[in-house]
A and B are shown apart, each in its own frame.
Chain A
Amino acid sequence: MITGLQAFFLVNALITLFAAVKVVSSRKLVHAALWLVLALMGVAATFAMLGSRFFSVIQVFVYIGAIATLIIVAVMLTRNSMEDVGPQVNRGWWLPLVVVVLLFVGLVVVLSGWGDFGLSTRTVGAEGENVMELGKALVDPNGFVLPFEIASALLLGAMVAAIYLATDRKEGKR
């Protein structure tokens, strides 16, 4: 007998996987982006089931609010590729399928050796995850302060690169 939570997990996982498959198989690019939004929502719901409010909300905020929007904008800006005609798969489609199935089986075999494999649920904590502890760890010199600062430098690099790529250099220096 499965509990309500498990049933919900299964349904949610199926929806997420279906959406993920539709992302790559939709012929209209914007529809693919919309399916991506649904898939990301499913991931957010998975975070929610693990009891992690912070990450579930961030999943929606960053991935749907920013990244999916960015993808939709990129799709809207590309002309003449709104619809994909032509076949969806090429002749070697069975090879990746075999590889993926093997990979999945391998992962299950490896993970089943892990002690907590049979655990039905594990929530992050009694009160959900502790954002305060996370914040402390991020700025703790013995914790993650270096990754914290490097993350900001990395994002600066991303911004510089994005602007370099996106600005029209044909106009010459401003």
Chain B
Amino acid sequence: MSFWIDPINFVIAWLKGLLESWGLQPGLVTFVMYLIGAFVTTLLAMLLVVFLIWLERKLIGRVQDRLGPNRLGPWGIFQTFADMLKIFTKEHITPDGADGVAYNLAPVISVGAVLMVWAVIPFTATVVGVDFNAGVLYLMAVGALGEMGVILAGWGSNNKYAMLAAFRAVAQLISYEVPMVLALMIPVMFTGSMSLQALVKEQDIWFIFLAPVAALIFFISSIAEVGRTPFDLVESESELVSGFNIEYSGLKFGMFYVADFLHAFTISLLFAALYLGGWRGPGAEQYPMLGFVYFALKTAVVYFIGILMRASLPRFRIDQMMDLNWKYLTPLALVLVAATAVAGKIVPAEMAGLRLVVMLALNGIIFAAADRLMTRRRSARRQVAQAPRPVAHYVQPAPTDPGD
């Protein structure tokens, strides 16, 4: 195996040979290799955040007609390092009456849950942590742990704003898992496996073309899972001040920040792997590193769209956010799963071209119908909204008789 064809596996094989030449037992060699692999992956993911924060600040700055960070180093690239050093030495203030266990556990769980996703992502044709045959469900399970982090932070801080954020987290993060699971079911149906590597390998035609509406649902609900604008009700600055992380300071707050950016990048990775063909591209089978480049490019595109969404959309109100999920995305996803199942049986997978056309048409029809229904509901509601109505139900207390 040459270095230039598959450098990562080359290094892995070299390291393995080195450990075996030291006379370690095979079981121990596996253990040490896994330890190194997991450590390197998580550490790289954490370090990537430094770059992501800079990138996002720069891009958002440009969208808002500012320069963004531009003082330290070329294009201000060292700004995040300075921020990181600063936040490392900040005091950790624990609020009065905080629940010690929940308060300190929450930032760790938040970051950990995002990092765990990286264990199953297929980076190239040959490099994948675990080719896990329940990978799709693993993603959802780990996502559930991340929610636990937000709930713990909100509950443990002994702060009403944080508590309210915890409730919103329950309402939002949990609800949006439903359309997400359903949207993921369609690629699983096409593939016949839940392993992410198998899902990538199956995509001779990218799933975004076979199931564009499912891809859209997945994208929307995963942004809601991250809790970014327009779904940042959990940490909305203008109403909850900062939401669940309001009482955190120093690196504990920094960890929530890391989790947020890393999660945003991780969902881009997942979207690229699940709907944009992952590492697939011309020559990616022969030269796995090329696949890595394709994967990175696709992820960057998705991440960029996510940042643009963040920069351009206002925040949803909570009833709008819940309506979007339960009255639009969830029924749409259910209908989509049913329709795709029927169409997939009528047009078998062997007729790839016809299948593509049928699926595209089906998705178009369903989306148009859903949009039509939505528009009608919206206009009906607008008519109701135009009628004058009281802003709040304030009942004047009855005057009490002082003689009583």
Interface residues of A (CB under 8 A from B): 4, 28, 30-31, 34, 37, 53-54, 56-58, 60-61, 64-66, 68-69, 72-73, 76, 127-128, 131-132
When distances are taken between beta carbons in the complex, the residues of chain A under 8 Å from B152 are: 34
Evaluate whether A66 and B144 lie within 8 angstroms (CB atoms) in the complex, with A30-B99, A53-B134, A58-B137 already known: yes
Beta-carbon contact of B145 and A64 below 8 Å: yes
Whether the Cβ atoms of A61 and B140 lie closer than 8 Å is yes
- Among B148-194, those with CB < 8 Å from A are 148, 151-152, 155, 163, 166-167, 170, 174, 177, 192, 194
A69/B101 in contact, CB under 8 A: no
Decide: A57 and B138 in contact? CB cutoff 8 A: yes
Q: Would you call B102 an interface residue if the criterion is a C-beta within 8 Å of the partner chain's C-beta atoms?
A: yes
Please state if B148 and A76 are interface contacts (CB–CB under 8 Å).
no
Question: Taking each of A28, A56, A65, which has the highest tally of chain B beta carbons within 10 Å of its own beta carbon?
Answer: A65
Contact in complex: B134, A69 (CB < 8 Å): no
Q: List the 5 closest pairs (A to B, CB-CB), nearest first.
A: A65-B144, A60-B141, A61-B141, A53-B134, A57-B137
**Given A28-B99, A54-B134, A69-B151, 6 more pairs with CB closer than 8 A:** A37-B148, A60-B141, A60-B145, A64-B144, A69-B148, A69-B174
> Which residues of A are found within 8 Å of B194, using beta-carbon distances?
131
Interface status of B312 (Cβ within 8 A of chain A): no
For B374-393 the 0/1 string (1 means CB < 8 A from A) is: 00000000000000000000
Quick check: A53 and B133 within 8 Å, CB to CB?
yes
B residues sitting closer than 8 Å to A (CB atoms) are 27, 99, 101-102, 132-134, 137-138, 140-145, 147-148, 151-152, 155, 163, 166-167, 170, 174, 177, 192, 194
CB-CB under 8 A from A58, the residues of chain B are: 137, 141
Chain A residue contacts of B138, Cβ below 8 A: 57
B70 CB to closest chain A CB (Å) equals: 43
Known interface pairs A30-B99, A76-B166, A132-B192. Does A61 touch B148 (Cβ–Cβ under 8 Å)? no
Are B99's CB and A69's CB within 8 A?
A: no
> B134 contacts which chain A residues (CB < 8 A)?
53-54, 56-57, 131
- CB contact under 8 A between A31 and B101, given known A61-B140, A69-B151, A131-B133: yes
Q: What is the distance, in angstroms, from B322's C-beta to the closest C-beta of chain A?
A: 15
Give the distance to chain A from B134, nearest Cβ to Cβ, in Å.
Answer: 4
Chain B contacts for A127, CB-based, 8 A: 133
Inter-chain contact A61/B144, CB cutoff 8 Å: yes
- B154 to A, closest residue via Cβ: A76
- Which residue of A has the minimal Cβ distance to B31? A4
Residues of chain A within 8 A of B141, CB atoms compared: 57-58, 60-61, 64-65
Inter-chain contact B137/A69, CB cutoff 8 Å: no
User: Is B151 a contact partner of A72 (Cβ separation < 8 A)?
Assistant: yes
Nearest residue (CB) in B for A56 is B134
- Closest Cβ of chain B: how far from A23's Cβ, in Å? 14
Bound together, the chains give a CA A127 to CA B134 distance in angstroms of 12
- Once bound together, how far apart are the Cα atoms of A72 and B132, in whole Å? 30
Which of A61, A73, A76 contacts B137 (CB under 8 A)? Answer: A61
Query: Residue on A with the closest CB to B171?
Result: A73
B151 cross-chain contacts in A, Cβ below 8 A: 69, 72
Q: Which residues of chain A are within 8 angstroms of B133 by Cβ–Cβ distance?
A: 53-54, 127-128, 131
Contact B192 A60 (CB under 8 A): no
Instruction: Name 21 interchain pairs, CB-CB below 8 A, sorted by A.
Output: A4-B27, A30-B99, A31-B99, A34-B101, A37-B148, A53-B132, A54-B134, A56-B134, A60-B145, A61-B144, A64-B141, A64-B145, A64-B148, A65-B174, A65-B177, A66-B174, A69-B147, A69-B174, A72-B151, A73-B170, A128-B133
A76–B147 alpha-carbon span in the complex (Å): 15
**Chain B CB within 10 Å, residue with most, of A31, A61, A66, A131:** A61
Bound-state CA distance A31–B101 (Å) is 9
What's the Cα separation between A57 and B155 when bound, in Å?
Answer: 26
Looking at the assembled complex, report how far the CB atom of A52 sits from the nearest CB atom of chain B, in whole angstroms.
9
Note all chain B residues with C-beta closer than 8 A to A68: 148
Q: A132 vs B194: C-alpha distance in the bound complex, in angstroms?
A: 10
Determine how close the nearest CB of chain B comes to the CB of A84; give it in whole angstroms. Answer: 15
Closest Cβ of chain A: how far from B152's Cβ, in Å? Answer: 8
Chain A residues with CB under 8 A of B140 = 61, 65
Residues of A within 8 A of B170 (CB): 69, 73
Give the Cβ gap from B4 to chain A, nearest Cβ, in Å. Answer: 34
Which residues of chain B are near A60, meaning CB under 8 Å? Answer: 141-142, 144-145
Residue of A nearest to B27 (CB): A4
* Distance of A150 from chain B, by nearest CB (Å): 20
Q: Which residue of B lies closest to A30 (CB)?
A: B155
B220 to A: closest C-beta gap in Å: 20
Shortest B250–chain A CB gap in Å is 24
- Rounded to whole angstroms, the CA-CA distance of A153 and B27 in the bound complex is 49
State the CA gap A54–B145 with chains docked (Å). Answer: 17
Nearest chain A CB to B349 CB, angstrom units = 16
Measured CA separation A73–B155 after assembly (Å): 10
**Nearest chain A residue, comparing its CB with the CB of B142:** A60
Q: Shortest Cβ distance from A102 into chain B, in angstroms?
A: 36
**Least distance between A98 CB and chain B CB atoms (Å):** 34
Other-chain residue from B132, B144, B163 in contact with A69 (beta carbon distance below 8 A): B144
Q: Are A65 and B137 in contact (CB under 8 A)?
A: no
- Measured between beta carbons, the chain B residues less than 8 angstroms from A66 are 144, 174
